[in-house]
Structure 1
């Protein structure tokens, strides 16, 4: 337990190449350096359209999200339940996840609170000397429990575990 180490690891899956086509959001809540909760939501993207490649990657299909809430409803829940207590998001390749959130907020005309972002990919590149820095590869190399890759809840939890390991390996420096 690391008092004061509080963040939400977040992961987005998209239905198409458009960053606002979020079809799944996953979070892993870390409080005082301990995982408290992992949760994911299927999200109905606009017109419920999917590209073949994206479906091959994550396995989510239009029939999985046809009755799912849209992004504004899911984001409202995340904001209401978690963001008064947490203001830091951690993601593996944070540029992608941050752009999914930013593009979705713009598309749906949502106001985002001020958030801090940390990137477990950038941290891994700085502190480890592996030939590959994908989330899956790093978790295997560092004996971090893995879930189903490219499913948002599992990826968020793997990211949280990786980031906690990175902090431990650098003594928080």
Structure 2
């Protein structure tokens, strides 16, 4: 078992406007302090040129008119960095390769230097410790009776990911944080 006071991380989720990873249109974070959900936030983000693809809109429901007056990624990231990254050095995401590449591609586009962060993937952990036929975030949360929000909205997905990871920690004694 783990000591809750040692569990501190940010679960992070990105929604994109197009198939380009640097087209972030929403960022969501869920802050976990001492093993408890402390805060969940999300920001609409104006992607470069505010262009969207039909299928992305179908997934998350965010449209160009929703983000035309939103800050760009640089502005949102500066707030996240200023407010949270002095305290946290670990990101948890459900499908780290996607979320990490969104962050990296956006950082390249906006010429942002990213700090070194540890990444933990709740999807990979779920595949190791559960035997469900599906490992999507919403399915796992439903199966494990974890509070759900609106799937494919970044803040809700970040919180669902945080709660899933906390459950994964409870479910296994062999996994070390």
What TM-score range do you get, normalising by the shorter chain?
over 0.9
Partner of 1:2: 4
Q: CA RMSD in A?
A: 0.8
* TM-score where L is the length of structure 2: 0.96
CA distance in structure 2 between the aligned counterparts of 1:69 and 1:170, rounded to whole angstroms: 41
> How many aligned positions are there?
173
- Name which of 58, 72, 75 aligns with 1:73: 75
Output one character per residue of 1:43-67: Cα deviation in whole Å (capped at 9) or x when no partner. 0000100000000000000000000
Matches within 5 A, 1:148-167: 148-167=150-169
- Name which of 111, 117, 120 aligns with 1:115: 117
Q: What runs of 5+ residues in structure 1 fail to find an aligned partner?
A: none
- Name which of 8, 12, 15 aligns with 2:14: 12
Q: What runs of 5+ residues in structure 2 fail to find an aligned partner?
A: none
Partner of 2:31: 29
* TM-score where L is the length of structure 1: 0.99
Output one character per residue of 1:14-40: Cα deviation in whole Å (capped at 9) or x when no partner. 000000000000000001100100000
Equivalent position SS for 2:18? coil
CA distance in structure 1 between the aligned counterparts of 2:55 and 2:76, rounded to whole angstroms: 24
Partner of 1:144: 146
Partner of 2:132: 130
Equivalent position SS for 1:37? strand
CA distance in structure 2 between the aligned counterparts of 1:118 and 1:24, rounded to whole angstroms: 21
Does 2:61 align with 1:89?
A: no
Equivalent position SS for 1:3? helix
Runs of 4+ in 1 over 6 A off after TM superposition: none
CA distance in structure 1 between the aligned counterparts of 2:33 and 2:72, rounded to whole angstroms: 28
Tell me how far 1:4 sits from its aligned partner.
1.3
Equivalent position SS for 2:112? coil
